[in-house]
Homo-oligomer: A and B are copies of this chain.
Amino acid sequence: MNTRLNIKKHMNPERAEQLVITKRPHIETKSLASSIEDIFDAVSTDGDEAIKRLTTLYDKVNLDSLQVSKIDIINASQHIKPKLKESIQRAYDNIFKFHNSQRLASKKIETSTGVTCWQESRGIDSVGLYIPGGSAPLFSTVLMLGVPAQIAECQEIILCTPPNKNGSVHPAILFAAELCGISKIFKIGGAQAIASLVIGTESVPKVTKIFGPGNQYVTAAKLKAIEYGVAIDLPAGPSEVLVFADSECYPEFIAADLISQAEHGPDSQVIFVTISEKIIASVEECLHEQLNRLPRRSIAEQALENAHIIYFESLDRAFEFINEYAPEHLIIASNRASDYIGKINNAGSVFLGNMTPESAGDYASGTNHTLPTSGFAKSYSGVSLDSFIKKITFQTISIEGIKDLGPSIINMAEEEELEGHANAVRVRLQSITS
């Protein structure tokens, strides 16, 4: 064993210790405020020209056109391996099926005689999807944002992603986008992508909601977007997994799941909670063994240095901790995983049973992988069809309805000293009786 990994262990931690573990790293964006402000100002003043300048500066490439041509999108599928195309298509199908099942079933409710209320959903008119660059193309995120946007029937779906050194976009990104019916793809990365979606330029349409992950600049720019009245998907933070295991688990699988989270980045949050003391050593052994074979080992090791292994004697205390931590991803490593469902109050996405790795949800099970981090699972849901729609409430009242309910409305309006509100009912009642 040629690694000295030493993960912090907590045996039946007290509440105070527990609270310390649930603390997430603070994401500092204030120091970036002035550079973000500069980027927004530049895009605001110079539009496309500013974006091209910033692209030359940050992405080291000069672009003639910011937009990916239609022909490049259509040809993309010829430039990726058939096997990958098939895998992306399978993922697309599963994500489509699950998100399509989230459609609002509009139910008309007669709340009282002649008073009918219901909700209808409408796609958000225009949405911007940001797909970060990096060493590998994040086509999975294209699907996770593009599929619900497609189902929601958003009228305008704009995708921004940084160009590579040749000034092009990876064909797997374009292929995934085309599956989702996205035709407006811009080669813009970082804060300038967010700024262009917020402000609008000659090429890039202004949108009303922005989605997608990114580095601290993108995060800071998304916070700036809110100031401009543009909505965003979720507050962003480093990715997280919490694996819970009882004795009916496979330490090798647990280690693999913890590592799959750890390899995302040095700031990945990795927690292992168990009520089976005896499996801890086996999990650690598997971790060491698997790490030695991992290409992104140094990244994973940095993340694991901040990891925690926590043993609870009491199942209730274990879930008290889990709900207090509110993990983005929660894996229930047990042959009887469904027994624990009722105990889960706060989590983004839950993976039940020994055959359900988090990576299934990252790519292809059908659930979304854009999820609340940093404890926001206490108050936010992950991205779903809901994120791309508004639910508008409708009501209609018949003559019988206003006769029946009207006097109560008048009474309450008078008590709240809103005579105009009472009068709006009164004029109607008078017209009926007269």
Contacts and interface: CB of A to CB of B under 8 A. Distances in A.
A205 interface: no
A425 B252 CA distance: 11
Interface string A416-434: 1111111111111001000
Central interface residue in A135, A253, A263, A427, by most chain B CB within 10 Å: A427
Contacts of A260: 418, 420-421, 423-424
Central interface residue in A93, A355, A356, A402, by most chain B CB within 10 Å: A355
Contact of A420 (B120, B263, B381, B399): B263
A399 B363 CA distance: 18
Contact of A137 (B91, B94, B346, B416): B416
A3 interface: no
Contacts of A407: 87
Contact of A413 (B88, B363, B409, B423): B363
A366 interface: yes
A266 to B, nearest CB: 14
B405 A360 contact: yes
Given A352-B396, A417-B136, A376 B256 contact: no
A165 B341 CA distance: 49
B364 A84 contact: no
Nearest to A96: B111
A29 to B, nearest CB: 11
Central interface residue in A135, A252, A263, A359, by most chain B CB within 10 Å: A359
Contact of A349 (B263, B338, B392): B392
Given A119-B102, A358-B424, A417-B135, A109 B90 contact: no
B355 A428 contact: yes
Given A381-B392, A390-B379, A366 B109 contact: yes
Given A355-B399, A368-B393, A395-B360, A83 B411 contact: yes
Contacts of A337: 396
Contacts of A402: 355-357, 360
A11 B115 CA distance: 35
Interface string A105-126: 1010101100101011010110
A348 B120 CA distance: 11
A312 interface: no
B428 A294 contact: no
B137 A415 contact: yes
A392 B408 CA distance: 39
Contacts of A399: 355
A111 B125 contact: no
B138 A416 contact: yes
A284 interface: no
B381 A140 contact: no
Contacts of A105: 105
Given A229-B375, A363-B413, 12 more contacts: A98-B117, A140-B416, A260-B421, A290-B423, A351-B396, A352-B395, A357-B409, A359-B409, A359-B424, A365-B397, A372-B390, A380-B390
13 contacts: A87-B412, A136-B418, A253-B424, A296-B419, A300-B420, A350-B395, A355-B398, A355-B402, A359-B422, A360-B395, A365-B395, A377-B390, A384-B393
